[in-house]
Amino acid sequence: MGITKDIITELERIVGSNNIITDDVELTVYEADGSFVYTAKPDVVVFPRSTEEVAKVVRVAWENRIPIIGRGSGTSLSGGALPIEGGIVISLTRMNRVLELDVENETATVEAGVINLWVSDALAKLNYQYPIDLGYYFPADPGSQRVSTIGGNISHNAGGVKCFKYGVTVNNVRGLKVVLPNGEVRFFGGKVVENPGYDVIGIMSGSEGTMAIVTEAVLRIVSNYESVKTILAAFNSVEDAGTAVSRIISSGIRPVALEFMDKIAVNAIEAGPWGGGLPTDAEAILLIDVEGSEPGTNAEASRIIEILKSSGAYMVKLAKDRAEANRWWNARKQAFGAMGFVGPNYITGDGTIPRKKLPEALHRIREIGNKYGFRIANVFHAGDGNLHPLILYDERRPGERERALQAEDEILRMCVEIGGTITGEHGVGYYKKHLIGLLYTDYELNVMKNIKSVFDPLGIMNPGKIFPR
Ligand SMILES: Cc1cc2nc3c(=O)[nH]c(=O)nc-3n(C[C@H](O)[C@H](O)[C@H](O)COP(=O)(O)OP(=O)(O)OC[C@H]3O[C@@H](n4cnc5c(N)ncnc54)[C@H](O)[C@@H]3O)c2cc1C
């Protein structure tokens, strides 16, 4: 059934006339996500302010068999938040309160529309509601942490620079309040570390909005460390940098973050106002954080510096203070946006490979770039083997977008061929569902579809995502 005038009136009654968009021009804002590769317009967007309002909206959709698409900030890079079959977009952005900071239990309870960085800001007294620095932060920190929401992070099981040590989003979620597709409100998990029985939070995290709408989450928070050391290393070859990554990890040291950027990426960053003084002549750089006690970080940093030098780094620098380290990290976190300085358009790839295969993968990405005639920048979470090849192309040239997508496809197939996967953190979404069969047998895909149908028997939750039809 389509969306009738009566349904719109009912939705307006639930959320109020200031919290609904039906105007065709205004709906354009919601037809894309962060990738801008495809567009699909919703019929209506609602902005509920409470779980109860979400439940009532969802109930209307259930009764009328209308697709429901949860949406946070729309920074998804896989077409995840696109309403492929139209329907109701439920934007969680007005459910943006930090509800509780519980240091004794090391948890923060937040609404789904809270921006990722706001959790750490609240813990560090940067948020007006909490005037005391509690000495804690939320460790799952995607590059988009200044804009993406906790609900979006959970739904895509986002990764980030500190995930090498602390795990991805799912490892930092203890409880979830969700609205099921029939409008029932359920809570899974709690404040305890482990729950017996099936891991429902694990199943819902990364389910890309295909099972339920997340409205609240209980997050794990971790304490600040006494000492953090940041190391910057520059290499004349990407392969040497890749080898250094493997050698650091196999040495038994676990840095909290281990990031890679190649020459194109560094030059794009340094061309912008957020340049961090990164070496623009290097073919590749690594940015590494270790944290712990002062003697511990001193020893680990010295060992890492030795490994970097013996792996061919021509420059290794220990940040002289936090201000310098923050400049480097800030520069890293601007990398995607900085691509605008070196090309009119780009596609953000996202694949994962076994870390040992880093040098081979980087070599093959360059070959694929040459084959298609595109420059490809590389910025990625090297510690997790999570690659982000950024394929630079020009939308104005006929056929370039299609060829750029083909190049991305080939890179992802290469990742699978060498033992990796088609996504590390950006989700399967709409763009990559044709590749999921490379990873799973029909039996495995059916197991997943059966799990989805337990929650979503009518198939109204974010249809057209993850699974090929
Ligand atoms: C510059 C940039 C840097 C990025 N860096 C990273 C990175 O380092 N790591 C990483 O993992 N990702 C990264 N991303 C991708 C993106 O930011 C993440 O996928 C993020 O988790 C999406 O959050 P969002 O609030 O924007 O969600 P949206 O894009 O709005 O939605 C993402 C998905 O979640 C669903 N969804 C959203 N909210 C809910 C909810 N409350 N309930 C149910 N379903 C919901 C949507 O339907 C969609 O499928 C980056 C993106 C950009 C543009």
Q: How far is the CA of 167 from the centre of ligand 1 (A)?
A: 17
- pLDDT at position 130 over 70: no
Q: How far is the CA of 310 from the centre of ligand 1 (A)?
A: 38
Q: Between these two residues, 158 and 239, which has the higher pLDDT value?
A: 158
Residues 401-431 have pLDDT tens digits of 999 999 999 999 999 999 999 998 899 999 9
Looking at the domain that runs over 5-91, which CATH code has it been given?
A: 3.30.43.10
pLDDT value of residue 38 = 86
Triad 163, 194, 210: Cα angle to 5° = 65
Which atom of ligand 1 is found nearest the CA of 424?
11
Residues 313-322 have pLDDT tens digits of 999 999 999 9
b/e map 424-447, b = 16+ CB within 10 Å: bbbbbbbbbbebbeeeeeeeebee
- The residues pairing with 110 across neighbouring beta strands, listed in sequence order, are 98, 217
Q: From atom 27 of ligand 1, which residue's Cα is the shortest distance away?
A: 152
Single out the residue of 105, 86, 368, 364 nearest to residue 238, CA to CA.
364
Q: How far is the CA of 208 from the centre of ligand 1 (A)?
A: 9
> How many residues in the chain?
469
Which atom of ligand 1 is found nearest the CA of 465?
49
Half-sphere exposure in the Cβ direction for 5 (13 Å, CA): 0
Amino acid at site 441: T
Q: From atom 10 of ligand 1, which residue's Cα is the shortest distance away?
A: 158
- pLDDT at position 127 over 80: no
Half-sphere exposure in the Cβ direction for 351 (13 Å, CA): 33
Q: How far is the CA of 62 from the centre of ligand 1 (A)?
A: 25
CA distances from 102 to 41, 110, 171, 276 (A): 40, 11, 18, 35
pLDDT value of residue 195 = 83
pLDDT value of residue 411 = 97
Calculate the average pLDDT of the chain.
94
Q: How far is the CA of 320 from the centre of ligand 1 (A)?
A: 34
Query: 10 Å Cβ neighbour count for 193?
Result: 10
- CATH class of domain segment(s) 227-337: alpha beta
pLDDT value of residue 128 = 53
Residues 232-278 have pLDDT tens digits of 999 999 889 988 998 999 999 999 999 999 999 999 999 988 788 99
20-21 and 107-111: which strand pairing? unpaired
- Report, at the CATH architecture level, how domain 98-223 is classified: 2-Layer Sandwich (3.30)
Q: How far is the CA of 152 from the centre of ligand 1 (A)?
A: 4
Residues 170-211 have pLDDT tens digits of 999 999 999 999 999 999 999 988 888 999 999 999 999 999
Which atom of ligand 1 is found nearest the CA of 208?
49
Q: How far is the CA of 307 from the centre of ligand 1 (A)?
A: 35
Which atom of ligand 1 is found nearest the CA of 169?
11
Q: How far is the CA of 6 from the centre of ligand 1 (A)?
A: 32
Which atom of ligand 1 is found nearest the CA of 148?
25
Q: From atom 49 of ligand 1, which residue's Cα is the shortest distance away?
A: 80
Q: How far is the CA of 5 from the centre of ligand 1 (A)?
A: 31
Mutate to test the pocket of ligand 1, among 156, 163, 185, 347 (most ligand atoms within 8 A of CB): 156
Q: From atom 18 of ligand 1, which residue's Cα is the shortest distance away?
A: 76
Residues 437-469 have pLDDT tens digits of 999 999 999 999 999 999 999 999 999 999 987
Which atom of ligand 1 is found nearest the CA of 92?
41
Measured distance CA(444)–CA(450) in Å, rounded: 10
Q: How far is the CA of 142 from the centre of ligand 1 (A)?
A: 9
Measured distance CA(156)–CA(88) in Å, rounded: 20
pLDDT value of residue 212 = 98
What confidence category does residue 35 fall into, taking pLDDT thresholds of 50, 70 and 90? confident
- pLDDT at position 133 over 90: no
What confidence category does residue 337 fall into, taking pLDDT thresholds of 50, 70 and 90? confident
What's the chain look like in SS3? CCCCHHHHHHHHHHHCHHHEECCHHHHHHHCCCCCCCCCCCCCEEECCCCHHHHHHHHHHHHHCCCCEEEECCCCCCCCCCCCCCCCEEEECCCCCCEEEEECCCCEEEEECCCEHHHHHHHHECCCCCCCCECCEECCCCCCCCCCCEHHHHHHHCCCCCCHHHHCCHHHHEEEEEEECCCCCEEEEECCCCCCCCCCHHHHHCCCCCCCCEEEEEEEECEECCCEEEEEEEEECCHHHHHHHHHHHHHCCCCCCEEEEEEHHHHHHHHHCCCCCCCCCCCCEEEEEEEEECHHHHHHHHHHHHHHHHHCCCCEEEECCCHHHHHHHHHHHHCHHHHHHHCCCEEEECCEECCHHHHHHHHHHHHHHHHHHCCEEEEEEEHHHCEECEEEEECCCCCCHHHHHHHHHHHHHHHHHHCCCECCCCCCCCCCCHHHHHHCCCHHHHHHHHHHHHHHCCCCCECCCCCCCC
Q: How far is the CA of 32 from the centre of ligand 1 (A)?
A: 13
Write out residues with Cβ below 6 Å of ligand 1. Answer: 33-34, 69-77, 80-81, 92, 112, 142-144, 148-149, 151-153, 155-156, 158-160, 208-209, 213-214, 336-337, 425-426, 462
pLDDT value of residue 1 = 59
Domain ranges of the chain: 5-91, 98-223, 227-337
pLDDT value of residue 19 = 98
Same-fold call for 5-91 versus 227-337: no
Measured distance CA(165)–CA(107) in Å, rounded: 18
The percent of residues in the chain predicted with pLDDT above 90, rounded, is 84
The percent of residues in the chain predicted with pLDDT above 70, rounded, is 99
